Structure 1
Amino acid sequence: MPLPPSVRPAALLVAGAVLVAGCGAGGPAAPAGEKGASPAPAPVAVAVDNCGQRVEVDRPPRRAVALDQGSAEILLSLGLADRMAGTATWTDPVLKGLEKANAAVPRLADRYPSFEKVLDAEPDFVSASFLHTLGEGGVAPRERFTKLGVPTYVSPADCVGKDNGGDGDGVRTAPLTMDAVYGEVRDLARIFGVPERGEKLVGELRARVDAAAAGAGFGEASVLYWFSDAQGPYMAGCCGAPGIVSGALGVRNVFADTREEWPQINWETVVDRDPDVLVIADLTRRAQSAESAATKVGFLESHPVTRNMTAVRKKRYVVLSGQAMNPTIRTVEGIEKVAAALRTYGFAK
């Protein structure tokens, strides 16, 4: 990914002026989201430790920009559309039920916007799901926003128990759990001055996980998680969001022997592992080959190396959104859909 274009001096001046104005009282009200406009935020001071940085806000943000879909869907689920100035980097249609709220928030780009484009939205807070988004090669390093007085926040799921120092998608030093996602929900709810909404959302997510995993009993069913690319396919390692799904349901990921988040694995190795079920991402982006589920299935059923796999011959596919295979609130959706499919395919004991 090329580095973002340099920032025009004029854009910096505009951003600085907005930040100064944002410290005062009042200001125009933002459009109401699907759940109704949030009450005018009262001045507060909140500080959270986040991926090695301390994030401080003097008042709840009024013009937040969410630079990844997972972060945007948390803010929308907390009923904060009226305090969002933009979103970016989408892989899927928005979570069902949030369509109206999402339509009220400008989309700055389907993938990474330039740093300049983000500043044009006059943000007073920027959040992201991945360290790379707010790093070199992404939108811009966090420090560039900090110098302008714009607080930034990155999902703890991408830094806690994870080494991002290599060239790939990182290596898990400890298995990811839903607690990291719940912590993100609570952090953002506190930052925006709506902690009770955060607790309500976490409670709903916990209840869904418990319901989906109740009496799972799927024995020794083996699964493979394929995110994208047919030429050098990205398959899930042991310990990211797919690991949460596997752990909740007691199934075996055939590549649980690697701690890489999304290693690229050749098809000969995949065929050798011969999983019972293939969990495949259905992406709407167009960044690599075989993004949609239909394209993935077409490849699997026509390629001479893959078409004789057990899961392919028996058409045991589970289609998930990309967000359900990332550490987001939609990982819960992944648990629910994989559980339902395993029951349909007769793996329940």
Structure 2
Amino acid sequence: MPPIASTVRRTALTVAGLVVLTACGGGVSSSAGDAADRAAEGYPVTLKNCGRTVTVDSAPRHAVSLNQGSTEILLSLGLADRLDATATWTDPVMKGLEKDEATVPRIAGNQPSSEKVLAEEPDFVSASFESTLGRGGVASRDQFEELGVPTYLSPTDCAGKDNTGSGDGARTERLTMDAVYGEVRDLAEVFGVPERGEKLVTGLRDRIDRATADVDASDATLLYWFANAEAPYLAGCCGAPGIITEELGAENVFDDAKEEWPQINWETVADRNPDVLVIGDLTRRSQTAESAGKKIEFLESNPATKNLDAVRHKRYVLLSGQAMNPTIRTVEGVERVAEGLRSFGLAG
């Protein structure tokens, strides 16, 4: 532990030294100096985040984001040059971010070790899920903060959510896009680019408005399947699929389940017989039936599911895993499901 702590302190001293050089004009261009002055404005930044107070003394320059959702927000804010590493991906990066994402090292496809993260000497760490920055995760927030590294956890995974049980937690309140917008604004403020945050939020709102403008799916029932064939993870009422369902005025057949992703048997699914199956098309390989192709193959051959109305009529909507998580790509989920409902004649 002492060597790691001393490394973090050395990094801080190096940054401090660069600030002094900038102030004295020591080899730094005036434009770079102006940029540094602008970046220093408004700091320190202090936020309330998931029951903690987070203070960032200056705009991060060597951040590490530990989940794809957090990474895609930072890339969408134009902050690839401030990211030293990312980890934990379920899907290809969001369209339009490919070039920026390619410039940021991916230290692990799934959850990295704390040693790998600390080897990057981060000055800020962000994550989408409490499980990443908690027991059994990369490291706890306390451990990072003891080393002088501020952390940020997406409010979508803590506000109105109980993560103390097993599985993916349970919602005590319905999630809304406001929590996602709040995360965008928080991260934009931390990095000193609040105007970019507002622009991104406005764009996301506009996309939802366009996608739902002519949709009334009040007679349509949906089921969301994320992963696993033997004991499928299906969406409960109140996470990201709940946002999609509510925006379109439809009904989730498991709206009575408070767990984020309860595991429900196929006989129960058959009893509820949804009109449309929203299927996660994942590229990871940690569960059975990750890809949409594998899921559809299972549905059309399994005795309990092959006679579902949605299966017989092939009413499938394919979504990335990220679109089914509470991220900026939940908007992509609204768009894709709306498009599917129109094509099936279920959009009103």
TM-score category by the smaller chain?
over 0.9
TM-score computed with the length of structure 1 as normaliser: 0.93
Residue 25 (structure 1) aligned to one of 13, 18, 27: 18
Question: Any idea what the Cα deviations from partners look like across 1:32-91, whole Å, max 9, x if unmatched?
Answer: xxxxxx954622210000001111011000001000000000000000000001000000
State the match for 1:271 in structure 2.
270
8 Å Cα contact 1:15/1:120 also seen in 2: no
How many residues are aligned here?
Answer: 333
8 Å Cα contact 2:8/2:148 also seen in 1: no
Question: SS of the counterpart of 2:85?
Answer: strand
8 Å Cα contact 1:324/1:330 also seen in 2: yes
Report the AA paired with residue 133 of structure 1: T
State the match for 1:32 in structure 2.
none
Q: CA deviation at 1:26?
A: 4.2
Question: SS of the counterpart of 2:18?
Answer: coil
Q: CA deviation at 1:21?
A: 2.4
Question: SS of the counterpart of 1:25?
Answer: helix
State the match for 1:231 in structure 2.
230
State the match for 1:145 in structure 2.
144
Is residue 204 of structure 1 aligned with residue 170 of structure 2? no
- The unaligned stretches of length 5 or more in structure 2 are 22-33
8 Å Cα contact 1:189/1:198 also seen in 2: yes
State the match for 2:252 in structure 1.
253
State the match for 1:335 in structure 2.
334
TM-score computed with the length of structure 2 as normaliser: 0.93
Equivalent positions of 1:12-91 (< 5 A) are 12-26=5-19, 39-40=35-36, 42-43=39-40, 44-91=43-90
- The unaligned stretches of length 5 or more in structure 1 are 1-7, 29-37
- Taking the aligned partners of 2:16 and 2:47, their CA distance within structure 1 comes to 20
- Taking the aligned partners of 1:190 and 1:341, their CA distance within structure 2 comes to 36
Question: SS of the counterpart of 2:318?
Answer: strand
Q: CA deviation at 1:9?
A: 5.2
8 Å Cα contact 2:80/2:104 also seen in 1: yes
Report the AA paired with residue 13 of structure 1: S
8 Å Cα contact 1:11/1:116 also seen in 2: no
- Taking the aligned partners of 1:323 and 1:57, their CA distance within structure 2 comes to 28
Question: SS of the counterpart of 1:105?
Answer: coil
State the match for 1:99 in structure 2.
98
- Taking the aligned partners of 2:232 and 2:45, their CA distance within structure 1 comes to 42
The share of aligned pairs that are identical, in percent, is: 64
- Taking the aligned partners of 2:249 and 2:16, their CA distance within structure 1 comes to 50
Q: CA deviation at 1:27?
A: 10
- Taking the aligned partners of 2:16 and 2:318, their CA distance within structure 1 comes to 46
- Taking the aligned partners of 1:128 and 1:24, their CA distance within structure 2 comes to 29
- Taking the aligned partners of 1:279 and 1:137, their CA distance within structure 2 comes to 30
State the match for 2:27 in structure 1.
none
State the match for 1:3 in structure 2.
none
Q: CA deviation at 1:25?
A: 3.2
Q: CA deviation at 1:152?
A: 0.1
8 Å Cα contact 1:12/1:119 also seen in 2: no
- Taking the aligned partners of 2:328 and 2:218, their CA distance within structure 1 comes to 26
- Taking the aligned partners of 1:149 and 1:276, their CA distance within structure 2 comes to 51
The ranges of structure 1 where at least 4 consecutive aligned residues each deviate by more than 6 angstroms after the TM superposition are none
Question: SS of the counterpart of 1:224?
Answer: strand
State the match for 1:161 in structure 2.
160
- Taking the aligned partners of 1:174 and 1:215, their CA distance within structure 2 comes to 28
Question: SS of the counterpart of 1:280?
Answer: strand
Bigger Rg, which one: 2
8 Å Cα contact 2:217/2:249 also seen in 1: yes
State the match for 2:134 in structure 1.
135
Report the AA paired with residue 145 of structure 2: T
Q: CA deviation at 1:185?
A: 0.2
- Taking the aligned partners of 2:113 and 2:20, their CA distance within structure 1 comes to 26
- Taking the aligned partners of 1:9 and 1:270, their CA distance within structure 2 comes to 54
Q: CA deviation at 1:11?
A: 3.9
- Taking the aligned partners of 2:321 and 2:132, their CA distance within structure 1 comes to 16
Question: SS of the counterpart of 2:196?
Answer: helix
Q: Which structure carries more helix by proportion?
A: 2
Instruction: Please tell me the root mean square deviation across aligned C-alpha atoms, in Å.
Output: 1.6
Q: CA deviation at 1:122?
A: 1.1
Q: CA deviation at 1:218?
A: 1.6
- Taking the aligned partners of 2:251 and 2:265, their CA distance within structure 1 comes to 19
- Taking the aligned partners of 1:240 and 1:344, their CA distance within structure 2 comes to 25
8 Å Cα contact 2:62/2:84 also seen in 1: yes
8 Å Cα contact 1:55/1:151 also seen in 2: yes
Change (3 A) 1:199 1:269: same
Question: Any idea what the Cα deviations from partners look like across 1:165-202, whole Å, max 9, x if unmatched?
Answer: 10111111110000000000000000000000000000
